[in-house]
């Protein structure tokens, strides 16, 4: 190998690295647009069955079916806003920057009550509390700062909603056009297999996301029942937040239960710690644990097994592997990604025995 060939190889490698860096930088710069597209794809997958139902059962025209589907999505979003914004507004005074000192005082009062309870059981937590300096380290302005950030995020919420709905509209309306364009790009020798994989993937992922929404709705109702039984303040908001956290498999329910426990305690600050605050919070925690038992053993296996045609053990192992490899993001995306791999495997290597076993129900 001559020096000229070596230098040319180095130059090509450097140019390749520069090209990759530029591509990654470009993707980073348009990350918001990519997020809009991903959300639109998910909405399109959820909306496809609705559009098909409106077209085939109710004989809607394609455009009218798509507009009706997006209108239903809009009603759901507006419904959530009308449901939660008044509740959040009513609590705004307690979470505002002006009441930061009062909130910190109430929080410290809760800690002291907990300390008195522990002391009655011969656990000296007062000394640990003073040495740790929790009161000085815990800054209640974190909450108001979070709210300010949330309000700033709302300023771009409108643009995001319009962008997502605009993209989703054309993904649903011009599905055949996109399929034709994609078909024109594909190599002829693999065209049929790729198109079959895409159709099957769309079907399974549509079932998966609809199943996920159904699971979250069931959990929301069960959480709400638990919170209402024990008279927890703002039960709707707490149940909704904890249900949404269930999108993160296994870890989300744990975080949601801890959140419900803390919010239940904070919501009862004016009551007696030993006779009301602690027992109520523990009962809520036990109730959430029972809900998770129901979800893990009944609703989740049935819904996900039927939606993506995978055994519950498969789903558990795939989520576990995704979590170990890519953290929370991997856990959330594990099932959709695994579903895509199964479909591709069945289309391209159907003779493989492992693929046959895993895809026998697809």
Q: What is the pLDDT of residues 246-259, one digit of tens each?
A: 888 878 888 889 88
Inform me whether the pLDDT recorded for 244 exceeds 70: yes
pLDDT single digits (tens) 253-282: 888 898 888 888 877 766 676 677 788 888
Question: How many residues comprise the chain?
Answer: 362
Q: 102 or 339, which is more confident?
A: 339
Kindly state the tokens that stand for 303. Answer: 């819904």
For the question of whether the overall pTM of this predicted structure is more than 0.75, the answer is no
Inform me whether the pLDDT recorded for 95 exceeds 70: no
Residue whose tokens read 């709210």: 147
pLDDT single digits (tens) 284-319: 999 999 998 888 777 777 777 777 778 878 888 888
Write down the pLDDT at residue 287.
93
Write down the pLDDT at residue 350.
80
- In whole angstroms, give the CA distance from residue 234 to residue 159: 29
Inform me whether the pLDDT recorded for 33 exceeds 50: yes
Write down the pLDDT at residue 83.
66
- In whole angstroms, give the CA distance from residue 300 to residue 257: 18
Write down the pLDDT at residue 148.
54
Write down the pLDDT at residue 58.
86
- In whole angstroms, give the CA distance from residue 256 to residue 264: 12
pLDDT single digits (tens) 112-143: 766 676 667 666 655 655 555 544 544 545 44
Inform me whether the pLDDT recorded for 28 exceeds 80: yes
Task: Name which of 14-23, 201-210, 337-346 the model is least confident about.
Answer: 201-210
Mean pLDDT confidence for 236-247 = 86
The closest alpha carbon to 253, from 263, 245, 265, belongs to 245
pLDDT single digits (tens) 320-335: 888 888 887 788 888 8
Residue whose tokens read 């039927």: 306
Write down the pLDDT at residue 135.
47
Task: Name which of 103-117, 143-157, 219-233 the model is least confident about.
Answer: 143-157
């Amino acid at each position: 190998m001559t020096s000229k060939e070596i230098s040319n190889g180095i130059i090509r490698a450097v140019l390749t690295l520069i090209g990759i860096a530029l591509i990654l930088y470009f993707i980073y710069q348009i990350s918001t647009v990519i997020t809009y597209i991903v959300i639109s794809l998910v909405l399109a997958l959820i909306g496809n069955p609705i559009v098909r139902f409106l077209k085939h059962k109710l004989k809607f025209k394609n455009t009218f079916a798509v507009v009706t589907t997006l209108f239903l999505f809009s009603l759901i979003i507006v419904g959530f806003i009308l449901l939660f914004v008044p509740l959040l507004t009513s609590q705004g005074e307690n979470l505002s920057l002006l009441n930061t000192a009062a909130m910190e005082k109430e929080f410290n009062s809760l800690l002291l009550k907990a300390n008195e309870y522990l002391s009655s059981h011969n656990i000296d937590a007062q000394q640990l509390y003073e040495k740790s300096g929790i009161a000085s380290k815990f800054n209640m302005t974190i909450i108001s700062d979070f709210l300010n950030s949330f309000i700033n995020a709302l300023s771009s919420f409108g643009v995001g909603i319009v962008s997502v709905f605009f993209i989703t509209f054309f993904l649903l309306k011009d599905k055949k056009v996109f399929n034709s364009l994609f078909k024109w790009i594909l190599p002829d020798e693999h065209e049929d297999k790729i198109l079959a994989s895409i159709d099957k993937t769309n079907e399974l992922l549509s079932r998966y996301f609809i199943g996920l929404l159904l699971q979250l709705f069931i959990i929301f109702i069960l959480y709400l029942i638990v919170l209402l039984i024990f008279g927890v303040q703002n039960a709707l908001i707490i149940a909704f937040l904890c249900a949404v956290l269930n999108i993160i498999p296994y870890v989300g329910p744990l975080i949601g239960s801890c959140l419900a426990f803390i919010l239940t305690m904070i919501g009862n600050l004016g009551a007696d710690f030993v006779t009301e605050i602690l027992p109520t919070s523990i009962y809520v925690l036990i109730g959430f644990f029972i809900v998770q038992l129901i979800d893990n053993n009944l609703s989740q296996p049935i819904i996900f097994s039927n939606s993506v045609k995978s055994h519950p053990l498969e789903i558990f192992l795939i989520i576990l592997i995704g979590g170990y490899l890519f953290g929370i993001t991997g856990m959330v995306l594990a099932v959709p990604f695994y579903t895509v791999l199964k479909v591709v495997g069945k289309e391209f290597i159907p003779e493989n025995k492992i693929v046959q076993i895993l895809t026998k129900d697809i």
